[in-house]
Amino acid sequence: MKKRIISLAIAASMIFSLIPYVSSEEIMPDYSEWNMTTNTSVCDPDGFDFNTVTRAGNIRIASAYLARWDGVVNEEDDPDPEKGVNMEDYYNELPSSGHVQNILTIPDRADSLDNNGIKEAVMKYGALYTSYRSNSAFYGSNHITYYHPEDSEETLSTGWTAVIGWDDNYPADNFVVTPPGNGAFLCKGNSGTSYGQDGYFYVSYYDEYICRCSDNTVFTGVESDTNYNKIYQYDTFGYVGIVNYNNDTIYAANVFPEKGGGIEDDELIEAVSFYTVNPDVEYSVYIIPYYTDMDDLSSFRMEAASGVLEYCGYHTIELDEAVKLKAGSRFAVIVKLTSRDGSNVDFCIEYPKENYSSRARANIGESFVSRYGNKSWLDYAEYRENVNVCIKAFTNNGKKSARLFSGTGNSVPESDKVYSLEEAYELGMMTDYDHALYSGEITEPENSSDSVSLYEDKEYPAVYDLRDYGYVTPVKSSNGRTNGWAYAVYSALESSELKKRDERNKTLNQPQITVTDIYGGKSVSILSDTEDAEIYYTIDGSEPTHQSALYEGEISFISRGSVKIKAIAVKKGYTDSPPAQCEVLIDTIKPPAASKESGNIYEPMEVRLEAENGADIYYTTDGTVPSADSNKYTDPVTIDGTVTLQATAVTYGFAQSNIVRYDYKYIDPDIGLVRIELLPHKNVTQNSAEFSAVITDDGGNEIISGRFEYYAKNNSAAKYIIAADEDFKAIPKNLAPDTEY
């Protein structure tokens, strides 16, 4: 019988010996390889088609066991029996004492010296599970060394190990067959401490197979067995195959619970999980809380999470906000994958594969796939019996903040209906390849990840050993059984848990970001409470790394705008702090205003400048741009000639104001007017007349032109005034004797 839902309520009365998140000083993680082996064997209802005690398993089988929450089980709860016992007599189906939520596949080495990716993974996550091809002829004395040359034709079997370090200078002469150069990985064995150097051995960098078998795997530790109340799943055999549309995007969906059922209680969906077999993919997760039929996959979905996955593997994605599910309803989870480089992207599926997962089962109405996400959704089980997509959902019953669904979702146009397979094919929506694929052809998984070198520019220590940090559990023995794969898996998982526990205690605190008003802007200081810690920061909202700007003192911001600062604290031997973040908003103070606008002046005058909020004012009269280093305004500025007055305001907490400019043109009222050109006049009265005139000075320069009025005061006074406007009055002197007015 296939286990679809695991509820922790079933195990509420049971006491487990391991409580995750305790310090490494209290309990050393020691997980039961026997339980993993028997619970993936043919004797288990969810077991594979063979005896994994006598026929070797692999990391994919282990991943299925861990992802479905059958493991981890502690060694003391299900210990390894003596060799030769009947497996069925020692088969125990026990509740897990912790949950594994993330399993990462590290790219293969491209060549013998392409080791940085492996080194990065070991330093970041702990021991790395891998396999190699083994032959006793190539082991050194007491199995201390191993090197299989590329040109060898010896018969090989599979060996499993956990890489716990390396030595770039390990002598080539130490191997039975001398490799082309020095250097070796330090590996943990599974044959007890009598083999190798207390159970550890070296594999040459030049070995043909080590870390080149598409199964390099690391873990992110073990989470509490109470992190979620329930797991909804159909893919208890994990990913068996892949499906694709020969396209860079694919959509897949699972509907829970099985058709005809509904969830028992109100729940909150908090996370989903799925596998990826392509590196560097973008994902989007959508939730449909009230699923009724296949049309809902296009019409009533809400985006709940999105991001990028660098590594292949098994990923649990926490939703941005929990989504509320109502008792009695069915819900759907949609996952969209897109390759970032435009290459084809695959989605993982489970199906009954002969001599492997023949007991896999699926029902119509559970799993769907689509090229577009809004057209031609295909119910997979209608076209290929017992096939499911690999998507799980995790829920809790707690009273947390949850997102309620309004019923509108991200609807698609009515024209984007859901088509059957044959309808989509007839309408030209599917290629012959797609039609053949969905008519029954299943693609086998290919290489889990391409060989890529992501860390070429990073320097790594020449010698590294996780034992120096306490991140390795004691060597155990498989007692000669062929389940060394399970020992290698748990060597890596236990190491990741030790590292995670230690780093949880040694993780630096977030740095403290303080914003202070300074003259002409704002200043930001970033401090760590750990002595000698370095701080790296960004000011564009991006995530800081060790390659970001190094904080060396207060940072000043004097321009208007918004600055998003993120910073991390870094110190050797400690885990980088979580990023601290702060948004700095800087406004510009209003420019100063002058008591006199630009224009002509006819006598010396004083100009007053004023700014808001008591801001200081700086000005120039020599054509230079004013700044806080210019003349500081304290008294009115005397203007006694043609001058350009420029000013700016400066105060605390604001960016310097924009520059204001006032142009003053000085006109001397006593200048000799040598020529007044009069044009036809009108409105003549006894004492006045209107006329147009152009007035020039001694040098022939035009002073003013326009419409004027002539006034005569007491004809005998012979005092004449030409007035242009309120601001200009000129008393003409030395008028030409033939001027008419």
- 565 vs 375: which has the higher pLDDT: 565
Average pLDDT, the chain: 82
Q: What is the pLDDT confidence band of residue 192, given thresholds at 50, 70 and 90?
A: very high
Q: What angle do CA 71, 319, 502 make, to 5 degrees?
A: 50
pLDDT at 709 over 80: no
What is the per-residue pLDDT for 669?
Answer: 63
Q: Mean pLDDT over residues 321-346, rounded?
A: 95
Q: Which residues pair with 575 in a beta bridge?
A: 507
Q: What is the pLDDT confidence band of residue 717, given thresholds at 50, 70 and 90?
A: very low
Q: How far is it, in rounded angstroms, from Cα 328 to Cα 289?
A: 11
Residue 403, phi then psi, degrees to nearest 5: -90, 125
Reported as a single tens digit per residue, the pLDDT across 649-658 is 999 999 999 9
- 146 vs 402: which has the higher pLDDT: 146
Q: What is the pLDDT confidence band of residue 108, given thresholds at 50, 70 and 90?
A: very high
Q: How far is it, in rounded angstroms, from Cα 577 to Cα 579?
A: 6
pLDDT at 161 over 60: yes
What is the per-residue pLDDT for 207?
Answer: 96
Q: Which residues pair with 477 in a beta bridge?
A: 191
What is the per-residue pLDDT for 693?
Answer: 53
- 55 vs 350: which has the higher pLDDT: 350
**Token pair of 328, please?**
């009695």
Q: Is 612 helix (H, G, I), strand (E, B) or coil?
A: helix
In this predicted structure, which of 60-69, 415-424, 463-472, 504-513 has the lowest mean pLDDT?
A: 415-424
Percentage helix, strand, coil for the chain under 3-state DSSP, each rounded to 5: 15, 35, 50
Q: What is the pLDDT confidence band of residue 25, given thresholds at 50, 70 and 90?
A: very low
Q: What is the pLDDT confidence band of residue 300, given thresholds at 50, 70 and 90?
A: confident
Q: How far is it, in rounded angstroms, from Cα 492 to Cα 550?
A: 34
pLDDT at 123 over 70: yes
What is the per-residue pLDDT for 572?
Answer: 78
What is the per-residue pLDDT for 160?
Answer: 95
Q: What is the pLDDT confidence band of residue 702, given thresholds at 50, 70 and 90?
A: low
* DSSP per-residue codes, 688-729: EEEEEEEEE-TTS-EEEEEEEEEEESHHHH--EEEEEETTEE
Q: How far is it, in rounded angstroms, from Cα 172 to Cα 181?
A: 6
Q: What is the pLDDT confidence band of residue 51, given thresholds at 50, 70 and 90?
A: confident
Q: Which residues pair with 524 in a beta bridge?
A: 515, 555
> CA separation (Å) from 140 to 136, 173, 195, 197, 201?
9, 11, 11, 11, 9
What is the per-residue pLDDT for 422?
Answer: 53
Say if CB 470 and CB 162 are below 8 A apart.
no
pLDDT at 215 over 50: yes
Q: What angle do CA 125, 128, 132 make, to 5 degrees?
A: 165
pLDDT at 282 over 90: yes
